[in-house]
Amino acid sequence: MSAPLLELRCLTVRYGALTALRGLDLQVREGELVTLLGANGAGKSTTLRAISRLVGAAAGQVLWRGADLAGVSTHRTVRLGIGHCPEGRRVLARQTVATNLELGAWLRRDRAGITTDLERCYGLFPRLAERRRQLAGNLSGGEQQMLAIARALMGRPSLLLLDEPSLGLAPKLVAEVMAALAALHSEGLSMLLVEQNATAALEIADRGVVLEGGSIALEGSADALLADAGLRASYLGSG
């Protein structure tokens, strides 16, 4: 079996006296979609932030294609192929949809490729194509989430980190966002998806990992986790 694209080895992250991650071991392989599940405060967002080098590790390693990311800057992780779509969307409200997307490619110099990827994003999210000249602040919450995902894709990542992409969205929009992620997965994009809507996440994932108190409480195939009613009641909730 080939080496993992991303590997976390015994990763520990602390915020002052609070230990957010406790010796976390996790892998994501090429083309795999892994979803991180768990209650608020379980360490899901911290995991993504540690991978993106937004927070440092107190112990352990983050390995990208076998190389330790210790000391690597956040913008360097983008160059390496790690895209991060953060919780809360964080679009530039006073810029147009098109400008937001172009800024997602700020480290790239391949103009033709950027143009191609813009059209790909508009194809993936037709609503953005219709609103490309509108200010991002005038979009609905669901449209802003689509824009945040598309902006991360403009960096042409090998691994896309997604933090709560369905948060606050109506069920119809949740379905649209998840369908877009499933389409990207079918194209071979590797993803690590943090999501509280467990059912929606597991329906498109290969594997699920349940975090509790900064450690892995359970992990397995998405189908196995979906089929375990007792597990869903204990860890995943009704969503």
The pLDDT value recorded for residue 207 is 97
d(CA 180, CA 105): 20
Mean pLDDT by 10 residues, the chain (239 residues): 88 96 97 94 96 95 96 91 86 94 89 93 95 94 92 95 92 92 96 93 96 94 87 58
The ranges assigned to domains in the chain are: 6-81+157-236, 91-151
Compute the distance between CA of residue 158 and CA of residue 112 in angstroms, rounded to an integer: 19
By the 8 A CB rule, do 120 and 196 touch? no
Where in 58-214 does DSSP place strands (E)?
59-64, 67-68, 82-85, 159-163, 190-194, 207-212
State the pLDDT at residue 108. 82
Give dist(CA 226, CA 239) in Å, integer: 11
Q: 194, 34 in Cβ contact below 8 A?
A: no
- According to CATH, the topology of domain 6-81+157-236 is Rossmann fold (3.40.50)
**Whole-number pLDDT of residue 239:** 42
Q: Return the percent helix, strand and coil in the chain, to nearest 5.
A: 40, 25, 35
